[in-house]
Amino acid sequence: MSTPLEMHLDKRPELYFGDTATRRFLFHYTGIDNTKNILTGKELWASKIQYMNDYKEFIHAIEIVDRLCNEQARAHPDAKELFDKIKTMTRDIEGLNIHILSFSEEDDLLSQWRAYSLPHGFVLGFEFDKLKDVATENGFIIGKCIYDDAEKIQIIRRILNIYREIFVSNPDILDDLSPGFYEEFYKWAALFKHKAFREEKEWRMISAPTSNNHKNVDIRSTQTMLIPYYKMKLDIFGKDNRGDIILPIEHVVIGPHPNSKLLSDGFSYLLSKYHIKCSAIRYSTCPYRLL
């Protein structure tokens, strides 16, 4: 038999996670070393969210919840206990152990080359349906980033209203409701980005909260930092009739480079060496001098 919480949540409208019905590809900008690691290791690495450049946006979502909970508590004093508990729980989200991997709808955007592929790099074009399979296999979701401030507030208010209605009807399930809000909220919070980055048209793969001891969690090093990350295997689709490994990467864009032809030849050799299938390779149209 379903609990009162389950019965009420079954009736709520499904929250929107992007235009998944018509989306064919998502694109991942990365450097030369990372491209080689992805293809030879046949895996993607999702970084812990606290180590990402736009982590402050995640914290901003907590501030929105705090403000809206105060607003809702004044308007609905019969649910004040719920809103107080939600505020307390969401403040703990700063230390939440989730992992994020970024993609774009655009496959040749100058600002993205500058941000993620300097001094040189590639764009890996992933087939969306297969990328969803990889996400599901690892307990991740895929969502489209939200840049509009009014939409962010509307989403949080909508979730709060759903939980308020459940609580008013079933106040004895408070201890079940606040964790439920927390679990739903962090997924949306991870999709909030500043409107100044709207051009990126970013999508994200978002993990569930994960233990540091999880077998897929490891640490990578940069020149200045040690970064926890989650490893997702890409070679879950078998091989084609020639024996090449089928990855969800359908095509590749070679980034701006002073010797693009030589870089392309090296990339083709990499594909051949490791028996990796890739349908199409092309050059970026962004001039190298602009990087």
Note the pLDDT tens digit of each residue in 126-140. Answer: 999 999 999 999 999
Instruction: List b or e across 34-48, with b for residues whose CB sees 16 or more CB atoms inside 10 angstroms.
Output: bbbbbbeebbbbbbb
Q: Does 141 map to a domain?
A: yes
Cis peptide before 119 (omega within 30 of 0): yes
Predicted structure pTM score: 0.88
| Domain-embedded: residue 114 | no
Which residues of the chain have a pLDDT value below 50? 1-5, 7-9, 11-16
285 inside domain: no
**What local confidence, expressed as pLDDT, does residue 5 receive?**
46
Q: Is residue 37 part of a domain?
A: no
In a domain, 55, yes or no: yes
In this structure, is residue 74 part of a structural domain?
Answer: yes
| pLDDT of res. 17 | 52
- Residue for token pair 């079940």: 176
Q: Is residue 151 in a domain?
A: yes
- Residue pLDDT, tens place only, 9-38: 454 434 445 555 556 899 999 999 999 999
pLDDT of res. 117: 85
In a domain, 122, yes or no: no
Using the structure block, give the residue that is written with the tokens 């004044």.
74
Give dist(CA 190, CA 256) in Å, integer: 30
Structural element, H or E, at residue 241:
none
The pLDDT value given to residue 12: 45
**Backbone φ, ψ for residue 78 (5° rounding):** -70, -10
pLDDT of residue 16: 45
Range of the domain at 159: 4-26+44-109+127-238
Q: Looking at the 3D structure of the chain, how many domains does it have? A: 1
The pLDDT score that the predictor gives to residue 291 is 55
